[in-house]
Amino acid sequence: MLRQSRAGLAAASLVAMILLAAAPVHAAPKSLFDNLFGPPDGVTATTGTPRNALQVKVGKVRLDPRFMRQVVPLKTKEEPGTIIVSTDDKFLYLVLEGGKAMRYGIGTARDGFEWSGTHRVTNKREWPSWTPPAEMRARKPGLPTHMAGGVNNPLGARALYLGATLYRIHGTNEPWTIGQDVSSGCIRMVNDDVVDLYARVKVGAKVIVM
């Protein structure tokens, strides 16, 4: 009799565990900042090794091979040191000597925020601070008026400022956005790549966005 009671309790416990596992988990509502700069719904970020397909690693990341930094042939009349941004292809090219370029994968402007033109790099910053423009705060009430530089800053590890525009070539802690139209006009790169570009590019370098 005692053995049957224990068996019944074990079965009941097992059923309860299954029901709990199947019950929907109601996560805390995302903040505006998380909605803008966090991973997609259903995906969590980790600084360690992803345990499954629903985790994405932040920090040092491995991109889709076509978006990984690499030297490629490039026919251009532009001088070495020039940056050419191909928004359609999601590539940024840094012109090198000998008909070659260093190519980086990028994230570009979403619909309605596209732009093109020629500018110069007028400033460079390591771990830049971020002051959202008034237009962005009007579209997204609740954004901070200013955010100090650091690992959680949306501008990432480095930023190159383009002329008198509000646009930058900058890092990102959102590797899942590389290869997509995601920004309000800025050019995004993973932090490892923007650190590499930053070291190669001088203030005054020509930047062509097309």
Residue positions annotated with a catalytic role: 170, 186
d(CA 178, CA 174): 8
**In sequence order, what are the residues at sequence separation of 6 or more whose Cβ sits closer than 8 angstroms to the Cβ of residue 2?**
none
Contact 45, 39 (CB under 8 A): yes
User: How many other C-beta atoms are found inside a 10 Å radius of the C-beta of residue 186?
Assistant: 22
Contact 184, 67 (CB under 8 A): no
Place of tokens 């903040």: 31
d(CA 158, CA 173): 11
Here the tokens at position 162 are: 């383009």
d(CA 18, CA 32): 34
